Amino acid sequence: MIQHDKFYINGQWVAPKGDGTIDVIDPSTEEVCGRVPSGNADDVNAAVAAAKAAFPSWSTSSADERSGIIKKLAEKITENAAKIGELCARELGTPLKTSIGLHGGLGIGVMSSYIEMPYAMEQEERIGNSLIIKEPVGVCGFITPWNFPLHQIVAKLAPALATGCTVVVKPSSDTPLTAYFLAELIDEVGVPAGVFNLVTGPGRTVGEAMCTHPDVDMISLTGSTEAGIRVSELAAGTVKRVCTELGGKSALVALPDADIARAGATAGGGICANSGQVCAALSRLIVPRDRQDEAVAAAKAAAESVVVGGAFEDGVTMGPVASRSQQESVRSYIQKGIEEGATLVTGGPEMPEGRNAGYFIKPTIFSNVTNDMTIAQEEIFGPVLAIIPYDTEEEAIEIANDSLFGLSGAVMAGSDESAIAAARKIRTGQVSVNGGSFNVAAPFGGYKQSGNGRELGPHGIQEFVELKAIQLPQ
């Protein structure tokens, strides 16, 4: 069992103010695999004070210095990808081989993509007699979720370091071990004291203390829409900048001339990635009504080829969901789909055969779903796909847009041109066309209740920048 009994504050490992602890549960076995301190408002105060004290020097450091730190961190993450994968497998349940490539790989890719970004802060603009310069927003509080324990921190930390911000991180209580390992790497690299601070604890105490703290200038949250609303309400009291990346109910629209079998296989297998715990998961497959059976057959075959098991078992391609509460939530959605009249193609609410422990869910496919059903409207965050038939292309786009969310999506068509034309009509922050892959340098974020702001790439820098206009004499 991995045990931590200190927080990382002001470049040192310091004892928490209270004596509470959090047990980290291995979702493959339901056994305790780690323990970390449970912080309180006093711990947050100490971390924020350290970040505030470090800000004047870090915010005026050279682009060369910040770039060098980011480069060293990218190298450290690369060197330790296997260890990161092992930690994520243990505390999240992602199969080990997948975890190394997915969780370790994303951390490497995102951190590496920011090596040259500090130099963007030196770019100035003239508008008439005004000189427009960029300055870091200040002390940033990061509240991150459990589904991508490293990536969701790095996606915030990299642009913060690039711009000259200082940070306090509160990782999810379900998956804090990876965050602790990142703090160890940061310490090894020699990031100046106070630039990065780590405090673990419940959102209701640590998270809310960060959101209301007068010396925190910006909050960046990745989490549920409910959490985003709460954070925004709390941050409004001190008029903080708030960046949120929230829920999703993304659709894969297969146009009439698409390879429907490919679309079905893509959706049926893709919904099982990271056990369906992906905010941008394509959880709705929208297909021509007269070809629904073809899509169903392909999705069913793909889902049934997924090997469910513990993170360290050989041959496993999908692990458990992250926690008992998540398992219960996903099961309740599956039962709701059955009750509301959707056709259960494969899967179901029962434990996979041969499993008596662990938070496992069967890959589940529903067909004949209507977009007013609960499983078509609410984010399930598990390996559950809803296949929705349509009669016209216009109706397909309407179904895709008939959602509170607008995070991601996909279009498959007989030509890229027709797919792009449809993609332009879908109101989401990202749309993949004919299998286009995820790009760590492209902006990521949502429309509607999927959040505010963007992460990743040069556009992600903007969330951490204040613009100043210096009016010059004419």
pLDDT tens-digit profile of 39-90? 999 999 999 999 999 999 999 999 999 999 999 999 999 999 999 999 999 9
- pLDDT, average across residues 115-136: 97
Can 279 be counted among the known catalytic residues?
yes
What residue type is assigned to position 466 of the chain? E
Confidence of residue 439 (pLDDT cuts 50, 70, 90): very high
Quick one: pLDDT at residue 462?
Answer: 97
Assess contact for 343 and 352: CB atoms under 8 A. no
Quick one: pLDDT at residue 297?
Answer: 98
Are 254 and 241 in the same domain? no
- pTM (2 decimals)? 0.96
CB count in 10 Å sphere of residue 192: 15
- pLDDT, average across residues 110-125: 97
Confidence of residue 150 (pLDDT cuts 50, 70, 90): very high
Residue 406 within any structural domain of the chain: yes
333: containing domain: 250-439
- pLDDT tens for 322-339 read 999 999 999 999 999 999
Are 225 and 254 in the same domain? no
Residue in 86, 91, 245, 379 annotated catalytic? 245
Can 30 be counted among the known catalytic residues?
no
Residue 380 within any structural domain of the chain: yes
Share of the chain above pLDDT 70, in %: 100
Are 240 and 261 in the same domain? no
Nearest to 278 by CA among 43, 78, 94, 120: 94
DSSP 134-162: EEE--EEEEE--SSSTTHHHHHHHHHHHH
Total domains in the fold of the chain: 2
Are 279 and 416 in the same domain? yes
What residue type is assigned to position 395 of the chain? E
Residue 444 within any structural domain of the chain: no
Quick one: pLDDT at residue 119?
Answer: 98
Confidence of residue 413 (pLDDT cuts 50, 70, 90): very high
Residue 206 within any structural domain of the chain: yes
Q: Which residues pair with 170 in a beta bridge?
A: 143
Strand pairing report for 447-448 and 405-406: antiparallel
Are 58 and 146 in the same domain? yes
Residue in 272, 279, 379, 463 annotated catalytic? 279
Confidence of residue 372 (pLDDT cuts 50, 70, 90): very high
Q: In what order do the strands lie in the sheet with 364-367?
A: 343-346, 364-367, 384-390, 282-288, 250-254, 409-412, 432-433
Are 165 and 283 in the same domain? no
- pLDDT tens for 256-290 read 999 999 999 999 999 999 999 999 999 999 999 99
- pLDDT, average across residues 287-316: 98
- The CATH number given to whatever domain includes residue 192 is 3.40.605.10
Burial class (CB in 10 A: 0-12, 13-18, 19+), 321: buried
Quick one: pLDDT at residue 239?
Answer: 97
Residue 445 within any structural domain of the chain: no
Confidence of residue 394 (pLDDT cuts 50, 70, 90): very high
